[in-house]
Structure 1
Amino acid sequence: MKRKTVDIITMGCSKNLVDSEQLIRQLEEEGYCVTHDSESPKGEIAVINTCGFIGDAKEESINMILEFAQAKEEGDLEKLYVMGCLSERYLKELSIEIPQVDKFYGKFNWKELLADLGKSYHDEFCIERSLTTPKHYAYLKISEGCDRKCAYCAIPIITGRHVSKPIEEIVEEVKYLVSLGVKEFQVIAQELTYYGIDLYKKQMLPELIEQISDVPGVEWIRLHYAYPAHFPTDLFRVMRERDNVCKYMDIALQHISDNMLSKMKRHVSKEETYGLIEQFRKEVPGIHLRTTLMVGHPGETEEDFEELKEFVHKAQFDRMGAFTYSEEEGTYSANNYEDSIPQEIKQARLDEIMNIQQEFAGKLSAQKVGKEFKVIIDRSEGDYYIGRTEFDSPEVDPEVLIHHQEGELKIGHFYHVLITDSDEFDLFGKII
């Protein structure tokens, strides 16, 4: 066992990852050696940053806690701490059920962990973090919480009201990250389009993205997790005018039938959704849209599902994910609807809708063959360098494979690549 070594394990989304990176920076300043998501943790202290979004994620987080609790019982671990969304929501219950954990922290009070280790939180490093991503890209969290209160979602219960970070603070963080070598920023929030309403009394996402875009050294800005209702349309202009703002939008639409949108409390209609997609493609030529859909929410009829299938056919999303409804206690859906759709029907609907998307994904990739793209190189793997275009976010989207025979490439550098072939998931290219 290594003394003064801390293993941090991050579960769930990239917003959690940012919190872990901030904690790592603070611990390193206090002289700790910190590993992140190590395959074989060997430190004297472990910190698990949990996810509490849906059933599968909660189960995964609990299993990870139990695994480390056993390691502590066997004498392989001295201290075990748990933080994050699951801990925020079920702090009392977890403390009783898993007493091997030395202390549970919520989503926002992880700074107390430092005090419990006899250390101080360094305010002067509040915008600093130790990146766990490749050094050329980083996630940039611009707000916490959510005011949308969709019927099925527990996030507002866990994280509370929407709280925007001031523009000046975000810009300073961007400058700091650029100084570390970051070129590409994945701008994240639970809901991007609400940014600024609490601080500035109006939607400020377009202005924020312009100010980030102005920072020297920022090569790519990619936007994640937008909401379709009351979309700030001035963002279209920013995406058109700014070369370093990727023509990419991650906008979770969840469903298309008016019946389901109403039951889900999405505050948007089928007609408005189709109109927004059309506006995106008209105002920002070449934009790639990523969305997330849900099947099996209470009240989803066969007719609703047929509408959703038709939507996937018509919209032809460049990127799409989907998941089955999971009842979350305390939500409007859990309190007011019966989760009566059998799991096998939910799964069959999920499989069907993803099969439709897979057909489109292959065709859309094939359309890129013979075209040139700016590609950033993420890593070397086997016989290939692995990169991405501006239309591909790390870990969730297709990649570009370039054979080592093309010559030596530098990780984190941009290259102009001719796409020579494609398969269902990825592109193949050669250096121009």
Structure 2
Amino acid sequence: MSVEISAAAACPATCTDTDPLHLSVDPLATARAHVADTALAGTPAGSGLVGLELELHLVDLADPAQRPGWDRIQDVVAGLPAMPSGSSVTLEPGGQIELSTPPVRGIAGSVAALEADRFVLREALLVVGLGAAPLGTDPAREVRRINPNERYVAMARHFAARGCADAGLAMMTATAALQINLDAGPRHNWAERTSRIRDLGPVLVAISACSPLLAGAASGWHSMRQQAWHGIDQGRTAPVAGADPAQAWADYALDAPLMLVRDGGVTRPVTTGATFADWLAGHAPVDRPPRIVDLDYHLTTLFPPIRPRGYLELRCLDAVPDRWWPALAGITAVLIDDPAAADEAAEACAPVRDAWVTAARAGLADRPLHVAAISCVDIAVRHSPPELHDRIDAYAGLVAGGRTPGDEVRERAAAADPLTALVEEARA
């Protein structure tokens, strides 16, 4: 999602992007100021720009048990028609394909934009024998990286050295999300807005749970996608917390372990657990001082559930099937961007505001989360835009019954097998 960044988000005057940070008077303060200044961009109240990103698992419909090869996928993407709403099309390490819309005013318009591009993508893929399944995890196929980009090679080496190779590989190659990007809003309201979104997070995790299986196995977690994220370094995946969201993000970033360093087109893993602050202090296994460009790249290796990128990037929702994601996107945006709905949701979420792990593991089987979720989706129904009312109401019925889209996946897999469930969604 692209938004205009104010002049305040520029590199501090004391340095340029490629100057070593140690040339500034106080390197740590310069780095902290840079991250804080670029964290959020003020936007008018009620501006309501929304961007949506949907990841999908590519499936060869003639040989669904095997992931399509990297060369084939690249050729397919190169041959895709332009998306009518302007979405970009990108590829993830396991060959997942991602549609990312430009920002559109209002959630109804954003959903319509993504649906239009999703239809074009679906039809173009079917012509070449491929389907695409929007599910939180690949329920059937082995966890395997097919994207040879050196960034992902280095990430895998970092995760292996840090003792979370399996979770890291699963996260990169076998998970998919519905990501929602929202304006930061007026500067004076950043603290309240980000706090409310963070408090809503566990409810969003619970109602979006759509990953009960991974590579043919069940762990018991309702969101095995979130289980994978919880299995890697929490210094880069835990929620960002603090009274001042920009400063909290700066502290989080400088205290997070280094994952990768780029030099001359080469990406190298960092495997010791040294933080960016350590690098600034000369205590990291890198043979040169860091620059602003290194700090910016470091930010791309941090994956909290709500990430500041000028706008607010909500990363905590599982991808869900096409019949459900428009409602899930609508529920999320309404509960954040509609002032009356946001006030009501804040009260409903208060008892479960810290229940991130419980939401991923137990989902709506946890009674406090179920109570909060019922309240939240009912609020969303009452405040929904007319274009999405019926769909949000249907999702509210699902939640009221203690169910999520993941229950449908689990039942289909039990009735046949996980691969059949994957193929059914890829053809849907």
TM range (shorter): under 0.3
What TM-score do you get using the length of structure 1 for normalisation?
Answer: 0.23
Q: Which has the higher helix share?
A: 2
Q: Which has the higher strand share?
A: 1
Rg comparison, structure with higher value: 1
What TM-score do you get using the length of structure 2 for normalisation?
Answer: 0.23
